[in-house]
Amino acid sequence: MLSSLFLLIIPSLSFSQNLIWSQPIEVASGVSASLRPRVALDNQDNPIVIFAQNANPNQLYKTKFNNNAFEPIVNLATAAPYVSSAAGPEIAFANDIIYISFENENEGVYMLKSINGGNTFSDTVRVDNVHNKAVLPNVNIKSDFNPLLSFTRVNSSWTQINQVVSNSIDGGQTFLPDVSASVITSNQPCECCFSKVVSEGSTQASIFRNNDNNVRNFYASVSHDGGQSFSDYLEIDLLDWNLNACPDAGPDAYLKNGKLFITYRSGSLGPNRVFVARVDLNSLSVEQVTPVDEALSSSMAQKYPDIAGDESNVGVVWMDNRSMLNDCFFSYSTDGFDSWSTPVYISDSSLMVQFVEPDVAYRNNKFHFVYRNQNQNIILYRTAELQNTSSLHEVVFNLEINDSKIQLPEHLNYQLFDVSGKLIQNGFESTLDISGLSKGLYLLKTPTSVHKFVKE
Protein backbone atom coordinates (compact mmCIF):
# COMPACT_ATOMS: atom_id res chain seq x y z
CA MET A 1 0.00 0.00 0.00
CA LEU A 2 1.40 3.40 -0.98
CA SER A 3 1.71 6.02 1.74
CA SER A 4 2.96 9.59 1.81
CA LEU A 5 4.22 11.75 4.66
CA PHE A 6 6.92 14.26 5.41
CA LEU A 7 8.53 15.78 8.48
CA LEU A 8 10.66 18.90 8.46
CA ILE A 9 13.60 18.74 10.82
CA ILE A 10 13.14 20.76 14.00
CA PRO A 11 15.42 21.16 17.03
CA SER A 12 13.15 19.04 19.25
CA LEU A 13 13.96 15.84 17.38
CA SER A 14 15.81 13.31 19.54
CA PHE A 15 19.54 13.70 20.20
CA SER A 16 20.45 10.59 18.21
CA GLN A 17 19.01 12.14 15.06
CA ASN A 18 21.89 14.65 15.18
CA LEU A 19 24.60 11.95 15.07
CA ILE A 20 26.07 10.50 11.91
CA TRP A 21 27.77 7.22 12.82
CA SER A 22 30.55 5.56 10.86
CA GLN A 23 30.85 1.80 10.66
CA PRO A 24 33.38 0.21 13.07
CA ILE A 25 36.89 -0.30 11.68
CA GLU A 26 39.32 -2.89 13.01
CA VAL A 27 42.37 -1.25 14.57
CA ALA A 28 44.28 -4.34 15.62
CA SER A 29 43.65 -7.99 16.38
CA GLY A 30 45.50 -11.08 17.42
CA VAL A 31 47.72 -9.30 19.92
CA SER A 32 47.39 -11.37 23.06
CA ALA A 33 45.81 -9.52 25.98
CA SER A 34 45.80 -6.09 24.34
CA LEU A 35 44.35 -3.75 26.94
CA ARG A 36 42.86 -0.30 27.30
CA PRO A 37 43.11 1.38 23.88
CA ARG A 38 43.47 5.21 23.86
CA VAL A 39 42.91 7.52 20.89
CA ALA A 40 44.47 10.82 19.81
CA LEU A 41 44.20 12.92 16.62
CA ASP A 42 46.82 14.46 14.39
CA ASN A 43 46.46 17.92 12.81
CA GLN A 44 44.33 16.44 10.00
CA ASP A 45 42.06 14.60 12.47
CA ASN A 46 43.55 11.20 11.61
CA PRO A 47 43.35 8.90 14.66
CA ILE A 48 46.38 7.45 16.42
CA VAL A 49 45.60 4.53 18.73
CA ILE A 50 47.81 3.16 21.48
CA PHE A 51 47.29 0.03 23.57
CA ALA A 52 49.30 -2.22 25.85
CA GLN A 53 49.94 -5.95 25.90
CA ASN A 54 49.92 -7.71 29.24
CA ALA A 55 52.85 -10.05 28.69
CA ASN A 56 56.29 -10.75 30.10
CA PRO A 57 57.48 -8.08 29.76
CA ASN A 58 54.50 -5.84 28.95
CA GLN A 59 54.53 -4.06 25.60
CA LEU A 60 53.23 -0.70 24.34
CA TYR A 61 51.96 -0.45 20.74
CA LYS A 62 50.69 2.26 18.40
CA THR A 63 49.00 2.42 15.04
CA LYS A 64 47.78 5.29 12.87
CA PHE A 65 44.93 5.58 10.38
CA ASN A 66 46.36 6.10 6.90
CA ASN A 67 44.80 5.60 3.44
CA ASN A 68 41.48 4.34 4.83
CA ALA A 69 43.02 1.69 7.10
CA PHE A 70 45.12 1.40 10.22
CA GLU A 71 48.82 0.75 9.66
CA PRO A 72 50.56 -2.34 11.08
CA ILE A 73 51.14 -1.96 14.81
CA VAL A 74 54.50 -0.65 16.03
CA ASN A 75 56.15 -1.47 19.38
CA LEU A 76 56.84 1.90 21.01
CA ALA A 77 58.81 1.52 24.21
CA THR A 78 61.66 -0.46 25.65
CA ALA A 79 60.29 0.14 29.15
CA ALA A 80 57.50 -2.25 30.19
CA PRO A 81 54.26 -0.32 30.83
CA TYR A 82 51.92 -1.22 33.66
CA VAL A 83 48.40 -1.79 32.33
CA SER A 84 45.02 -3.00 33.53
CA SER A 85 41.46 -2.33 32.43
CA ALA A 86 41.29 0.54 34.92
CA ALA A 87 44.64 2.27 34.31
CA GLY A 88 47.55 2.27 31.92
CA PRO A 89 49.29 4.38 29.28
CA GLU A 90 47.63 7.77 28.63
CA ILE A 91 47.79 10.06 25.59
CA ALA A 92 47.42 13.81 24.96
CA PHE A 93 47.47 15.72 21.69
CA ALA A 94 47.55 19.26 20.27
CA ASN A 95 48.16 20.00 16.60
CA ASP A 96 50.73 17.38 15.53
CA ILE A 97 52.32 17.05 18.99
CA ILE A 98 51.43 13.89 20.91
CA TYR A 99 52.61 12.85 24.36
CA ILE A 100 52.23 9.40 25.92
CA SER A 101 52.74 8.73 29.63
CA PHE A 102 53.08 5.35 31.30
CA GLU A 103 54.25 3.66 34.46
CA ASN A 104 57.10 1.22 34.17
CA GLU A 105 56.53 -2.11 35.86
CA ASN A 106 59.41 -1.18 38.18
CA GLU A 107 57.34 1.82 39.30
CA GLY A 108 58.83 4.78 37.51
CA VAL A 109 56.98 7.33 35.33
CA TYR A 110 58.01 7.75 31.69
CA MET A 111 56.96 9.76 28.65
CA LEU A 112 57.17 9.49 24.86
CA LYS A 113 56.79 12.37 22.38
CA SER A 114 55.85 12.71 18.71
CA ILE A 115 56.17 15.96 16.77
CA ASN A 116 54.83 14.56 13.48
CA GLY A 117 51.32 13.48 14.36
CA GLY A 118 52.22 10.07 15.72
CA ASN A 119 54.22 8.82 12.76
CA THR A 120 57.31 8.37 14.94
CA PHE A 121 58.05 8.77 18.65
CA SER A 122 61.08 9.77 20.69
CA ASP A 123 63.00 7.60 23.07
CA THR A 124 61.52 7.29 26.55
CA VAL A 125 62.17 10.09 29.05
CA ARG A 126 61.94 9.46 32.77
CA VAL A 127 59.74 12.04 34.49
CA ASP A 128 59.98 11.29 38.20
CA ASN A 129 63.26 11.92 40.00
CA VAL A 130 63.38 8.39 41.40
CA HIS A 131 62.93 9.05 45.15
CA ASN A 132 59.91 7.11 46.49
CA LYS A 133 57.71 5.13 44.14
CA ALA A 134 55.96 6.94 41.28
CA VAL A 135 52.84 5.30 39.82
CA LEU A 136 49.67 5.95 37.79
CA PRO A 137 50.72 8.88 35.56
CA ASN A 138 48.48 11.10 33.46
CA VAL A 139 49.61 13.58 30.79
CA ASN A 140 48.33 16.83 29.31
CA ILE A 141 49.63 19.62 27.05
CA LYS A 142 50.03 23.25 28.04
CA SER A 143 49.23 26.21 25.81
CA ASP A 144 52.95 26.49 24.93
CA PHE A 145 52.86 22.80 23.84
CA ASN A 146 55.05 21.66 26.73
CA PRO A 147 53.87 18.58 28.63
CA LEU A 148 52.80 18.31 32.24
CA LEU A 149 52.20 15.07 34.12
CA SER A 150 50.38 14.14 37.28
CA PHE A 151 51.19 10.94 39.14
CA THR A 152 51.01 9.33 42.57
CA ARG A 153 53.96 9.15 44.94
CA VAL A 154 53.90 6.47 47.64
CA ASN A 155 56.36 5.29 50.25
CA SER A 156 57.62 1.70 50.37
CA SER A 157 54.79 0.59 52.67
CA TRP A 158 52.07 2.42 50.70
CA THR A 159 50.98 4.31 53.82
CA GLN A 160 51.89 7.81 52.61
CA ILE A 161 50.12 8.84 49.42
CA ASN A 162 50.70 12.08 47.54
CA GLN A 163 49.33 13.37 44.24
CA VAL A 164 51.97 15.43 42.43
CA VAL A 165 52.37 17.41 39.20
CA SER A 166 55.57 17.79 37.19
CA ASN A 167 56.07 20.36 34.41
CA SER A 168 58.48 20.52 31.49
CA ILE A 169 59.68 23.79 29.95
CA ASP A 170 61.87 22.31 27.19
CA GLY A 171 59.44 20.20 25.18
CA GLY A 172 59.62 17.16 27.44
CA GLN A 173 63.39 16.67 27.37
CA THR A 174 63.55 17.25 31.14
CA PHE A 175 61.08 17.84 33.95
CA LEU A 176 61.07 20.20 36.91
CA PRO A 177 60.81 18.72 40.41
CA ASP A 178 57.27 17.57 41.06
CA VAL A 179 54.97 19.70 43.22
CA SER A 180 52.36 18.27 45.58
CA ALA A 181 48.76 18.97 44.58
CA SER A 182 47.22 17.04 47.48
CA VAL A 183 49.16 18.43 50.42
CA ILE A 184 46.61 21.24 50.91
CA THR A 185 43.64 18.84 51.13
CA SER A 186 42.48 16.89 54.15
CA ASN A 187 43.71 13.34 54.73
CA GLN A 188 45.31 11.81 51.62
CA PRO A 189 44.42 10.53 48.13
CA CYS A 190 43.28 7.01 47.28
CA GLU A 191 46.35 4.93 46.60
CA CYS A 192 45.17 3.11 43.45
CA CYS A 193 42.95 5.68 41.67
CA PHE A 194 44.82 7.62 39.01
CA SER A 195 44.48 11.40 38.83
CA LYS A 196 43.77 13.67 35.86
CA VAL A 197 45.76 16.86 35.14
CA VAL A 198 44.48 19.76 33.01
CA SER A 199 45.98 23.09 32.02
CA GLU A 200 44.90 26.42 30.52
CA GLY A 201 47.25 29.40 30.55
CA SER A 202 48.75 29.70 34.01
CA THR A 203 45.96 27.60 35.56
CA GLN A 204 46.58 23.93 36.26
CA ALA A 205 44.33 21.50 38.12
CA SER A 206 44.85 17.99 39.44
CA ILE A 207 41.63 16.01 39.89
CA PHE A 208 41.89 13.02 42.20
CA ARG A 209 39.88 10.81 44.53
CA ASN A 210 40.49 11.64 48.18
CA ASN A 211 40.27 9.22 51.12
CA ASP A 212 38.78 10.95 54.14
CA ASN A 213 38.29 8.09 56.60
CA ASN A 214 36.94 5.90 53.78
CA VAL A 215 34.77 8.66 52.27
CA ARG A 216 36.09 8.71 48.71
CA ASN A 217 35.00 11.89 46.96
CA PHE A 218 36.77 13.69 44.12
CA TYR A 219 38.75 16.88 44.69
CA ALA A 220 40.27 19.42 42.31
CA SER A 221 43.48 21.05 43.49
CA VAL A 222 44.26 24.27 41.59
CA SER A 223 47.46 26.12 40.72
CA HIS A 224 47.34 29.73 39.48
CA ASP A 225 51.07 30.05 38.79
CA GLY A 226 51.74 27.41 36.16
CA GLY A 227 52.18 24.53 38.59
CA GLN A 228 54.77 26.13 40.86
CA SER A 229 52.34 25.74 43.78
CA PHE A 230 48.78 24.53 44.40
CA SER A 231 46.95 27.00 46.62
CA ASP A 232 43.22 26.28 46.20
CA TYR A 233 41.05 23.20 46.16
CA LEU A 234 37.39 22.22 46.13
CA GLU A 235 35.41 19.04 46.64
CA ILE A 236 33.59 18.12 43.44
CA ASP A 237 31.08 15.33 43.88
CA LEU A 238 29.99 15.57 47.57
CA LEU A 239 28.36 12.14 47.24
CA ASP A 240 30.23 10.62 50.20
CA TRP A 241 30.94 7.20 48.74
CA ASN A 242 31.92 5.28 51.86
CA LEU A 243 34.18 2.39 50.93
CA ASN A 244 36.81 0.61 53.00
CA ALA A 245 39.01 -0.17 49.97
CA CYS A 246 40.20 1.90 47.04
CA PRO A 247 37.73 1.42 44.14
CA ASP A 248 40.44 1.59 41.43
CA ALA A 249 38.48 4.26 39.53
CA GLY A 250 40.00 7.57 38.46
CA PRO A 251 38.40 10.58 36.71
CA ASP A 252 38.68 12.10 33.27
CA ALA A 253 38.38 15.84 32.56
CA TYR A 254 39.19 18.75 30.29
CA LEU A 255 39.39 22.53 30.83
CA LYS A 256 37.89 25.17 28.50
CA ASN A 257 37.76 28.91 29.29
CA GLY A 258 37.87 28.35 33.02
CA LYS A 259 35.23 25.60 32.99
CA LEU A 260 36.28 22.15 34.13
CA PHE A 261 34.28 19.29 32.58
CA ILE A 262 34.65 16.05 34.56
CA THR A 263 33.37 12.49 34.54
CA TYR A 264 33.86 9.89 37.26
CA ARG A 265 32.36 6.76 38.83
CA SER A 266 30.69 6.57 42.23
CA GLY A 267 28.73 3.91 44.10
CA SER A 268 27.30 6.34 46.64
CA LEU A 269 23.70 5.96 45.39
CA GLY A 270 23.72 2.16 45.24
CA PRO A 271 24.97 0.73 41.94
CA ASN A 272 28.25 1.97 40.51
CA ARG A 273 27.26 4.73 38.11
CA VAL A 274 28.91 7.39 35.96
CA PHE A 275 28.50 11.08 36.80
CA VAL A 276 29.40 14.26 34.96
CA ALA A 277 30.21 17.58 36.59
CA ARG A 278 30.95 21.12 35.46
CA VAL A 279 33.11 23.29 37.69
CA ASP A 280 33.97 26.99 37.45
CA LEU A 281 37.63 27.18 38.45
CA ASN A 282 37.56 30.99 38.61
CA SER A 283 34.99 31.00 41.41
CA LEU A 284 35.89 27.50 42.69
CA SER A 285 32.25 26.45 42.46
CA VAL A 286 30.53 23.28 41.27
CA GLU A 287 27.88 24.34 38.77
CA GLN A 288 26.31 20.98 37.90
CA VAL A 289 26.55 17.32 38.87
CA THR A 290 24.36 14.71 37.20
CA PRO A 291 24.40 10.97 36.39
CA VAL A 292 24.68 10.24 32.68
CA ASP A 293 21.85 7.72 32.91
CA GLU A 294 18.92 8.50 35.22
CA ALA A 295 17.29 5.14 34.46
CA LEU A 296 20.12 2.96 35.74
CA SER A 297 18.76 -0.13 37.50
CA SER A 298 20.17 -1.63 40.67
CA SER A 299 21.54 -4.61 38.74
CA MET A 300 23.71 -2.50 36.42
CA ALA A 301 27.30 -1.44 37.04
CA GLN A 302 28.96 1.36 35.08
CA LYS A 303 32.71 1.93 34.94
CA TYR A 304 35.69 3.38 33.02
CA PRO A 305 34.21 6.75 31.94
CA ASP A 306 36.06 9.16 29.63
CA ILE A 307 35.06 12.63 28.45
CA ALA A 308 35.89 14.89 25.49
CA GLY A 309 34.46 18.00 23.88
CA ASP A 310 34.42 21.80 24.01
CA GLU A 311 32.26 24.35 25.83
CA SER A 312 29.05 23.38 23.99
CA ASN A 313 29.48 19.81 22.75
CA VAL A 314 30.41 17.33 25.47
CA GLY A 315 30.55 13.55 25.10
CA VAL A 316 31.05 10.79 27.68
CA VAL A 317 31.78 7.11 27.08
CA TRP A 318 31.68 4.27 29.57
CA MET A 319 31.13 0.54 29.93
CA ASP A 320 28.17 -1.16 31.61
CA ASN A 321 26.34 -4.47 31.75
CA ARG A 322 22.71 -3.50 31.11
CA SER A 323 22.42 -6.18 28.41
CA MET A 324 23.91 -8.82 30.76
CA LEU A 325 27.19 -8.63 28.84
CA ASN A 326 29.48 -5.61 28.98
CA ASP A 327 28.89 -3.05 26.23
CA CYS A 328 30.23 0.45 25.52
CA PHE A 329 27.92 3.46 25.64
CA PHE A 330 27.93 7.15 24.70
CA SER A 331 25.91 10.11 25.95
CA TYR A 332 26.34 13.70 24.87
CA SER A 333 25.23 17.27 25.41
CA THR A 334 25.07 20.00 22.77
CA ASP A 335 24.22 22.79 25.21
CA GLY A 336 27.24 22.66 27.48
CA PHE A 337 25.85 20.25 30.10
CA ASP A 338 22.28 21.51 30.55
CA SER A 339 20.72 18.42 28.94
CA TRP A 340 22.03 14.99 27.99
CA SER A 341 21.05 12.46 25.38
CA THR A 342 19.71 9.02 26.16
CA PRO A 343 22.69 6.62 26.22
CA VAL A 344 23.37 4.93 22.88
CA TYR A 345 25.46 1.87 22.11
CA ILE A 346 28.90 2.40 20.60
CA SER A 347 29.42 -1.34 20.33
CA ASP A 348 27.26 -3.89 18.50
CA SER A 349 24.93 -5.21 21.19
CA SER A 350 23.59 -7.94 18.87
CA LEU A 351 26.88 -9.84 19.18
CA MET A 352 27.16 -12.13 22.19
CA VAL A 353 30.58 -10.81 23.19
CA GLN A 354 31.98 -8.41 25.78
CA PHE A 355 32.89 -4.88 24.64
CA VAL A 356 35.10 -3.06 27.11
CA GLU A 357 37.47 -0.13 27.85
CA PRO A 358 36.14 2.69 25.64
CA ASP A 359 37.96 5.98 25.02
CA VAL A 360 36.88 9.15 23.21
CA ALA A 361 38.54 12.12 21.50
CA TYR A 362 36.81 15.15 19.97
CA ARG A 363 37.50 17.80 17.37
CA ASN A 364 35.51 19.69 14.70
CA ASN A 365 32.07 18.40 15.76
CA LYS A 366 33.18 14.77 15.56
CA PHE A 367 33.67 12.25 18.36
CA HIS A 368 36.24 9.49 17.80
CA PHE A 369 35.89 6.23 19.75
CA VAL A 370 38.07 3.21 20.41
CA TYR A 371 37.00 0.13 22.35
CA ARG A 372 37.83 -3.56 22.61
CA ASN A 373 36.02 -6.77 21.71
CA GLN A 374 37.25 -8.76 24.69
CA ASN A 375 36.19 -12.22 23.51
CA GLN A 376 37.94 -12.02 20.15
CA ASN A 377 40.61 -9.56 21.29
CA ILE A 378 39.90 -6.99 18.56
CA ILE A 379 40.33 -3.23 18.99
CA LEU A 380 37.73 -1.21 17.08
CA TYR A 381 37.41 2.43 16.00
CA ARG A 382 34.39 4.45 14.87
CA THR A 383 33.13 8.04 14.83
CA ALA A 384 29.94 9.98 15.49
CA GLU A 385 29.59 13.38 13.85
CA LEU A 386 27.24 16.06 15.15
CA GLN A 387 25.06 17.59 12.45
CA ASN A 388 23.98 21.24 12.66
CA THR A 389 20.31 20.64 11.92
CA SER A 390 19.34 24.28 12.43
CA SER A 391 21.10 25.17 9.16
CA LEU A 392 18.79 23.05 7.00
CA HIS A 393 16.40 24.86 4.69
CA GLU A 394 12.69 24.24 5.09
CA VAL A 395 12.07 22.65 1.69
CA VAL A 396 8.89 20.58 1.60
CA PHE A 397 8.30 17.65 -0.74
CA ASN A 398 6.16 14.54 -0.55
CA LEU A 399 7.97 11.33 0.36
CA GLU A 400 6.38 8.32 -1.37
CA ILE A 401 6.93 5.11 0.59
CA ASN A 402 5.83 1.53 0.24
CA ASP A 403 7.18 -1.73 1.62
CA SER A 404 10.01 -1.98 -0.89
CA LYS A 405 11.05 1.53 -1.95
CA ILE A 406 11.11 5.24 -1.27
CA GLN A 407 10.60 7.56 -4.24
CA LEU A 408 12.33 10.95 -4.11
CA PRO A 409 11.38 13.80 -6.47
CA GLU A 410 14.86 13.76 -8.07
CA HIS A 411 18.33 12.35 -7.57
CA LEU A 412 19.48 13.50 -4.13
CA ASN A 413 22.28 12.77 -1.69
CA TYR A 414 20.70 10.91 1.20
CA GLN A 415 21.46 9.20 4.50
CA LEU A 416 19.13 6.68 6.13
CA PHE A 417 19.27 6.07 9.90
CA ASP A 418 17.53 3.76 12.32
CA VAL A 419 15.95 5.15 15.48
CA SER A 420 19.22 4.83 17.46
CA GLY A 421 21.01 7.09 14.98
CA LYS A 422 22.93 4.29 13.25
CA LEU A 423 23.64 4.93 9.57
CA ILE A 424 21.90 2.21 7.50
CA GLN A 425 22.27 3.47 3.92
CA ASN A 426 23.66 6.46 2.06
CA GLY A 427 24.22 7.48 -1.54
CA PHE A 428 22.90 9.57 -4.45
CA GLU A 429 19.61 8.16 -5.76
CA SER A 430 16.03 8.99 -6.73
CA THR A 431 14.67 5.57 -5.71
CA LEU A 432 15.77 3.86 -2.49
CA ASP A 433 15.43 0.12 -1.95
CA ILE A 434 14.13 -0.50 1.59
CA SER A 435 12.89 -4.05 1.06
CA GLY A 436 15.56 -5.41 3.39
CA LEU A 437 14.76 -3.13 6.32
CA SER A 438 13.20 -4.54 9.45
CA LYS A 439 9.92 -3.12 10.73
CA GLY A 440 10.33 0.07 12.73
CA LEU A 441 10.94 3.81 12.73
CA TYR A 442 13.57 5.33 10.38
CA LEU A 443 14.91 8.75 9.48
CA LEU A 444 15.85 9.84 5.97
CA LYS A 445 18.10 12.89 5.64
CA THR A 446 18.59 14.86 2.42
CA PRO A 447 20.56 18.10 2.02
CA THR A 448 17.40 20.15 2.64
CA SER A 449 15.19 18.15 5.02
CA VAL A 450 14.77 15.17 7.30
CA HIS A 451 11.85 12.75 7.01
CA LYS A 452 10.56 10.24 9.54
CA PHE A 453 8.76 7.10 8.40
CA VAL A 454 7.64 3.74 9.73
CA LYS A 455 8.44 0.54 7.82
CA GLU A 456 5.42 -1.73 8.26
Write the CB contacts of 161 (distance below 8 Å, at least 6 apart in sequence).
152, 153, 154, 182, 188, 189, 190, 191, 211
One pLDDT digit (tens) per residue for the chain, 456 residues? 333 333 333 333 344 447 889 999 999 998 765 889 999 999 999 999 999 988 878 899 999 999 889 999 999 977 789 888 888 999 999 999 999 999 987 679 999 999 999 999 999 999 997 767 899 999 999 999 999 999 999 988 888 899 999 999 999 999 999 999 999 998 899 988 999 999 999 999 999 999 999 999 999 999 999 999 999 999 998 888 998 888 889 999 999 999 999 999 998 888 889 999 999 999 999 999 988 887 667 778 899 999 999 999 999 999 998 877 899 999 999 988 888 888 889 988 777 889 999 999 999 999 999 999 999 999 999 999 997 644 333 334 456 777 788 888 777 778 787 766 677 887 778 888 888 888 887 878 776 666 777 777
Predicted local distance difference test score (pLDDT) of residue 12 = 33
pTM metric for this prediction: 0.82
Q: Which CATH class is domain 20-390?
A: mainly beta
The domain defined by 3-11+397-455 folds into: Immunoglobulin-like (2.60.40)
Residue ranges of the domains in the chain? 3-11+397-455, 20-390
